[in-house]
Amino acid sequence: MKSRRGLTAYAFLLPSLLGVFAFLLLPVAIVAGVSLFHWELLDSPHFTGLANYRRLVHDGDVRHSLWVTVLYVLLTIPVQTVLAVVLALLLNQRMRGVKFFRALYVVPWMATPIAMGLVWSWIFDPANGALNRFLAVFGVDGPAWLNDTSFALPAVAAVQIWQYTGYNMLFFLAGLQGIPAELYDAAATDGASPLRQFVHITLPLLNPTMFFVLVTNVIGSFQVFDTLYVMTGGGPAGSTEVLNFRIFQTAFQQFDFGYASAMAMLLFALILLITLLQVRYFNRRTTYDIS
Amino acid sequence: MKKPVIYAALTVGAFLTLFPYLLVVLTSFKDRGELFSTRPWLPAVPPSTDSFHRLADSGFLTYVGHTALMTAVLTVGQLVFTTFAAYAFARMEFRGRDLLFWCYLATMMVPNVVTMIPLFLIMRQLHMVNTWFGLLAPYILGTPYGIFLMRQFFRTIPTDLEDAARIDGAGPLTILWRVLLPLSRPALGTLAIITTVQSWNNFLWPLIISSSDDNKVATVAIATLRQSIGGDYNLMMAGSLVTLLPMVVIFLSFQRFIVRSVVLTGLK
């Protein structure tokens, strides 16, 4: 009886097991394996041990990409998270029309990043784009945005902030609504200012939400691709060449699969490390129940 | 804070949120000359459908059709297979269940680009590059994320009903279909919307695996517009409008539901 039930369970699981094995676990094993080979598209692969990793350590371009990636994460995550919290606080009040605004801010979440990347390229167009035409009304001569090495990365970051702030707001809003009102009442009778209430009640109790939002968004920021692909293609002069994009180019434009796999392992390790650090940080501060 | 200040802030935010959508509509109804002669935020008088004619001539609607087909197949596939797997994880006892579930959770941290290289190599080995099989296979059997979501939801449903059904002689399939699924509409709806959005917007894998006219999708097609014709923003905006519109329609139809339920995904 018991073994028959086990069999039924595996029958239910079979398609998904097949999927996870063939399209997630096997690929991870393959990419780790391929990173030990020199393998360009038409050649047959030959084993070179850790040569790709040695090359990685001395590759100035990879170091540059790592820096651009970190910069991109730093440009997006803090702004996006703070804005989402502020927006959630504003929308957590009893006011007319609040539901309308809540819904409206989530619209960009569903937008196709490739299409929106094009739309924002048009907004950022140096000569005829909406942004510089708008700035010109005030006599300001706007920069070339996507064609300018100092403005291209912030411009791509702005699109991500535009797209996901409202979506993140929803999670913070749910978090805020889970905080019992009595806590604020008690603090108010003790004479705590709204700012102190925010720092000592709201923020600590938002920790589980903060954990979820930060972990998922940081992983997402490390992997920015679509908007970057249509807006800058890694340019100008490599100023938006994040690691994720370099991996893509190395593998699918230069067909250097071995080296691209080593870079992919580096990105994987980086994401894993940063996720674990966040888990440790938040574990000390919250009891977060995952089961 | 005073209410007028809050409303002012919210209205500015709302304008910034909607402006790109407004601009797509305005620009795609302009002709080439008006693109440069008019202010971007003013409409063309009279509106021109020239861009849409050129878009249709380039075969774009076929690619949108491919996207729609891919989205439908992946959404149905993921709902079915995810439900089975999540049911097994939530309600059945078998050896290695918890270990296996943790493995599933761990795979959620694998970056997309890490699996793209080996997936391409696998598909090339199987001669499945530029085929529908290659395009759909990696996603159709369900994702760990979806399984996690459904399993968490199933566990919030009390087991009494299932026990009663089992005493009446119902097997696991009947219980899943007759008892659990009718109670799981919110979670199923959430999963369906997330899968639809992800499939419709998917770009990296289609870019790598399918470039032939038989299975090219809309996202890959508009990315090509950007590269081949430098600054033809009329055409690009028309393509973007056609691609964005279905998601806006879905949003408007399920707006209440989406706002309530996307939150389910993270916090349960």
pLDDT digits (tens, 9 = 90+) for B133-173: 999 999 999 888 889 888 888 888 888 888 888 888 888 88
Name the most confidently modeled range: B119-133, B144-158, B249-263: B119-133
Given a cut of 80, whether residue A192 has pLDDT beyond it is yes
Tokens of B121: 């190599």
For position A3, what pLDDT does the model report? 59
Question: Within a domain: residue A156?
Answer: yes
Tokens of B141: 């059997």
Contact A9 B88 (CB under 8 A): yes
Q: List the single residue in A30, A104, A114 with the smallest CB-CB distance to B203.
A: A114
Contact B40 A122 (CB under 8 A): yes
Phi and psi angles of residue A47, each rounded to the nearest 5 degrees, phi first: -70, 130
Q: Tens digit of pLDDT for each residue in B36-46?
A: 777 788 887 78
Total Cβ atoms within 10 A of residue B45: 10
Question: Within a domain: residue A161?
Answer: yes
Question: Within a domain: residue A41?
Answer: no
3-state SS, chain A, equals CHHHHHHHHHHHHHHHHHHHHHHHHHHHHHHHHHCCEECECCCCCEECCCHHHHHHHCCHHHHHHHHHHHHHHHHHHHHHHHHHHHHHHHHCCCCCCHHHHHHHHHHHHHCCHHHHHHHHHHHCCCCCCHHHHHHHHCCCCCCCHHHCCCCHHHHHHHHHHHHHHHHHHHHHHHHHHCCCHHHHHHHHHCCCCHHHHHHHHHHHHCHHHHHHHHHHHHHHHHCCCHHHHHHCCCCCCCCCCCHHHHHHHHHHCCCEHHHHHHHHHHHHHHHHHHHHHHHHHHHHHCCCCCC
CB contacts under 8 A, B 70-99 vs A, are 81-82, 84-85, 87-89, 92-95, 97
Kind plus residue range of the DSSP H or E element containing B266:
helix B264-267
Contact A129, B26 (CB under 8 A): no
**Mean of all residue pLDDT scores within chain B:** 88
Task: Collect all residues of chain B within an 8 Å Cβ-Cβ radius of residue A216.
Answer: 266
For position B228, what pLDDT does the model report? 64
Percent of chain A beyond pLDDT 70?
96
Q: Which domain CATH number covers A185?
A: 1.10.3720.10
Question: Within a domain: residue A260?
Answer: yes
**What was the ipTM of the complex prediction?**
0.90
Q: Tens digit of pLDDT for each residue in B221-247?
A: 999 888 765 578 889 999 999 999 999
Provide the β-strand partners of residue A256: A40
Q: How many domains does chain A have?
A: 1
Range of A215's domain?
Answer: 61-285
Phi and psi angles of residue A22, each rounded to the nearest 5 degrees, phi first: -75, -30
Phi and psi angles of residue A289, each rounded to the nearest 5 degrees, phi first: -95, 115
For position A143, what pLDDT does the model report? 93
For position B123, what pLDDT does the model report? 94
Amino acid at site A41: L
Q: How many residues are there in chain A?
A: 291
For position B103, what pLDDT does the model report? 87
Question: Please, is B194 exposed, middle or buried when counting C-beta atoms within 10 Å of its C-beta (0-12, 13-18, 19+)?
Answer: buried
CB contacts under 8 A, A 62-91 vs B, are 87, 90-91
Q: List the single residue in B103, B121, B226 with the smallest CB-CB distance to A118.
A: B226
Provide the β-strand partners of residue B163: none
Question: Within a domain: residue A56?
Answer: no
Q: Tens digit of pLDDT for each residue in A243-260?
A: 999 999 999 999 999 999
Question: Within a domain: residue A239?
Answer: yes
For position B263, what pLDDT does the model report? 63
Cα separation, A239 vs A260, in Å, equals 20
List of domains in chain B: 1-48 (no CATH), 50-267 (1.10.3720.10)
Cα separation, B265 vs A170, in Å, equals 11
| pLDDT tier at B267, thresholds 50, 70, 90 | very low
Find the range with the poorest average confidence among A3-17, A22-36, A177-191: A3-17
For position B1, what pLDDT does the model report? 66
- DSSP label of B214: T
Phi and psi angles of residue B254, each rounded to the nearest 5 degrees, phi first: -115, 25
Q: List the single residue in B114, B116, B267 with the smallest CB-CB distance to A268.
A: B114
A119 CB near a chain B CB, below 8 Å? yes
Total Cβ atoms within 10 A of residue B67: 24
Percent of chain B beyond pLDDT 70?
96
Q: Tens digit of pLDDT for each residue in A42-53?
A: 778 889 889 999
For position B42, what pLDDT does the model report? 82
